[in-house]
Amino acid sequence: MIKLRKILLIDDDRTQQRLMQEMVKNFRSGPFELDEAETYGDGLKKLLSGKYAVCLLDYRLDDRDGLALLREARIAGGVTR
């Protein structure tokens, strides 16, 4: 049985979301499942769930940035190096 790996995309741009969906379909080392979050808060909540193999995120999210999201997640204990 092949284990499904989950990718979290945190981006508020629909064009980027669709582009990433198409790219993930073509990954040869799959299978992957792409999950999306459109806001900083939703992205942080999903990231802290620990369900994802990797997180891709936009630098600008709401009035904050992606690096702040990663710092906040790390402080909360949901992200390791």
Q: Is the per-residue pLDDT at 48 higher than 80?
A: yes
- Distance in angstroms (rounded) separating the CA atoms of residues 37 and 12: 7
Residue 9 phi, psi dihedral angles, 5° rounding: -110, 120
- Distance in angstroms (rounded) separating the CA atoms of residues 38 and 58: 10
Instruction: Write down the residue that tokens 């939703």 correspond to.
Output: 42
Mean pLDDT of 67-77: 90
Name the more confident of 26 and 13.
13
Mean pLDDT of 50-78: 88
Domain ranges of the chain: 5-76
**pLDDT for the residue 69:** 93
Does the global pTM surpass 0.75? yes
Name the more confident of 3 and 52.
52
**Architecture of the domain delimited by 5-76:** 3-Layer(aba) Sandwich (3.40)
